[in-house]
Amino acid sequence: MEIIGEAANLLSDETRSSFPDVEWRDITNLRILLAHHYFRVDEEQTWVIASVSVPDLASKLQS
């Protein structure tokens, strides 16, 4: 998820605007949390993001 967040951070505004249903800010903020504030990470919430939100993101980006 850190890699996804880093990649999202590097996308152009044009690319981001092509996918208005994607919560880009949430993705980049999650990367910051995981990389720099790991002591505040909720393991259960992280699992839900990994098992539900990441597949949902992949689906949105493929369509």
- The predicted pLDDT at position 63 comes to 76
Q: What is the pLDDT of residues 34-49, one digit of tens each?
A: 999 988 999 999 999 9
Identify the active-site residue in 16, 36, 37, 40.
Answer: 36
Q: Domain tally for the chain? A: 1
Task: Look up the domain containing 25 and give its range.
Answer: 2-62
pTM confidence score: 0.86
Identify the active-site residue in 16, 25, 31, 40.
Answer: 31
Q: What is the pLDDT of residues 15-35, one digit of tens each?
A: 999 999 999 999 999 999 999
Q: Are 27 and 56 in contact (CB under 8 A)?
A: no
State how far the Cα of 61 lies from the Cα of 22, in Å rounded to an integer: 8
Instruction: Assess whether 31 carries a catalytic annotation.
Output: yes
- The predicted pLDDT at position 21 comes to 95
